[in-house]
Structure 1
Amino acid sequence: MNPIFEIAQAYDAVVIVHGSADLYNCPLEFDRMARRFPKVPLIMAHCGFFWEWELAIEVAMENDNLYLETSRVPGFETSKVIQKLGGGKVIWGTDGPFCDYEWEFNKIRRYAKNAEEFDKIMGGTVLSLLRKE
């Protein structure tokens, strides 16, 4: 993955990768890449779900450039991700066309602390990563 991250760093790109509890896409692998390339924003899709969501929160707290995306993550786990990380480190996703968009939307609306946090999760955070000025 180093060559991909080197290119992403050279072009100020954002990297999003499927994040699960599998061997090569578990939170510890994200931790390694985030530390190796601290200037590259790295988004962990699915928050390390199913079994590694708590570890995903931990490594996201330890790496300024690591963000968690919420698609297909159940409500309880999503609520804990938002509670621990806040809107500046959480990104809404749908994993479309495989998920119910309305459910994914309402999940964030339900667990965001306020309108400002909701707006960050629903697009503000990812927009800030894409607009490097």
Structure 2
Amino acid sequence: MTEPLVTVDVHTHIGQHGVHVHDPLASDEVAAWGKVSWDVDLDEHAQAATAAGHSIVLAFDAEPVGVVVDNEYVAETVAGHDNLIGFASVNPTRKDARDRLVYAVENLKLRGLKLGPTYQHFHAHDARALALLEVANEYRLPIIWHQGTTFTPAAIAEYARPLDLDLVARRFPDLPMVIAHCGHPWAEEAASVIRRHPNMYMDVSALDTRPWQFAQSLASAFEYRVFDKLLFGSDFPFSTVQQCIDGLRNGARICRELGIAPITDRDIDALCARDSLTLLGLK
């Protein structure tokens, strides 16, 4: 059996075009990249997941942009696979949001929560969001936030800033939270937030196609002394574990050659080996 390349991949997606992924996001993908990338064959996901010791699989309740990868589908996908960990997603604006999350935890055995305010059309300070986070806090569910920009005009950009999570972290200091994609393009802002809160992290997913932004994100984490709070994530199917590793090494090389941060291959190896499950309370 091939040894995994990384210990934990904290950011992978499933969902099929026409079933879980619809317009406007699907057509916006075509406009941005020439094809619908969010169309995942489960066998391909399972094969990709062998590159990591464990992979987190994310539901996504983002009906305002045409995406609903439902909690039941994720629960069915991860069932019987010790290397897969399912995260629920519930839009806090739903009237039955609390009941949906409780059901996802108690009945579907999902172990975390995925939120994306820019896609789900809520502000992180919204009373409905804070009420849902109370439930997450009761169950100690780690949260992965898409708190950053996105390509689709159907998203609401003013809900995307990483700084919005500072209040949330102060309200729920014991709740592990991850800012996905280093909060791109606001990596410095995201780094400044996570350094203030012991249980906040960033993942490095889906930045390998932007070498300069990736290098800047790594340099920001180094300068803010939170490099040890970077978690590995691939954002499959938009990238793979190997592509992300290659992007990390290239970003570190750029940092060294430009003299902006002395990030070594050993630092990248440590990031890839990081035991994110323990950090997020999932062991």
Mark yes or no: TM-score above 0.5: yes
Is 1:7 matched up with 2:135?
yes
Percent of residue pairs bearing the same amino acid type: 26
Report the Cα distance in structure 2 between the residues aligned to 1:125 and 1:25, rounded to whole angstroms. 28
TM-score by structure 1 length?
0.80
Mapped contact 1:5–1:40 kept (Cα < 8 A) = no
- Say whether 1:57 aligns with 2:169: no
Aligned to 1:72: 206
How far did residue 41 of structure 1 move?
0.7
Partners of 2:165 and 2:178 lie apart in 1 by 9
Counterpart for residue 153 of structure 2: none
Any unmatched runs of 5+ in structure 2?
A: 1-128, 150-156, 208-212, 253-262
Distance 1:113 1:91, change over 3 A: same
Equivalent pair of 1:46/1:70 in contact (CA under 8 Å): yes
How far did 1:104 drift?
Answer: 0.7
Structure 1: runs of 5 or more not aligned: none
Partner of 2:27: none
What is residue 25 of structure 1 aligned with on the other side? 160
TM-score, normalising length from structure 2? Answer: 0.41
Partner of 2:279: 129
Structure 1 counterpart of 2:179: 44
Q: Deviations over 1:39-93 (max 9, x none)?
A: 101100011212x111111111111121111112343123214423122x11111
Bigger proportion of residues as helix:
1
Query: Which has the greater radius of gyration?
Result: 2
SS, match of residue 62 in structure 1: coil
RMSD: 2.4
The alignment covers a number of residue pairs equal to 130
| Contact 1:41–1:66 under 8 Å retained in 2 | yes
| Cα distance in 1 for residues equivalent to 2:189 and 2:160 | 13
- Contact 1:109 1:118 (8 Å CA) reproduced: no
Contact 1:86–1:117 (CA under 8 A) maintained in structure 2: no
